Amino acid sequence: MSDVDFAPISLERLQRVFRPLSLLANPVSTGLEQVLASGPVLFVGDHTIYGGLDLPMLGLEIYEQTGRPVRGLAAQIN
């Protein structure tokens, strides 16, 4: 899949989906001013239970602050 094929979910839809979690967790993100407006950026997340809660909220915050949608990368391990 190339970047041309990628169609991100709208910011408004993501905000609607994650609003209950953000009200419950009240996340705070710092350092997002370091995320460039263009070019490659790699975030490496934790694989603990918090990764399932924190990473979606961080992805939403990055999208809101920079306009850059976040895509995940995973590998299937058998």
User: 26-67 pLDDT, tens per residue?
Assistant: 778 888 888 887 888 887 766 666 667 777 888 888 888 888
Nearest by Cα to 71 from 40, 28, 46: 40
Characterize 10-39 residue by residue with b for buried, 16 or more Cβ atoms within 10 angstroms of its Cβ, and e for exposed: eeeebeeebeeeeeeeeeeeeeeeeeeeee
Q: Which amino acid is at 11?
A: L
Q: Which amino acid is at 37?
A: A
pLDDT at position 58? 83
pLDDT greater than 60 at residue 6 = yes
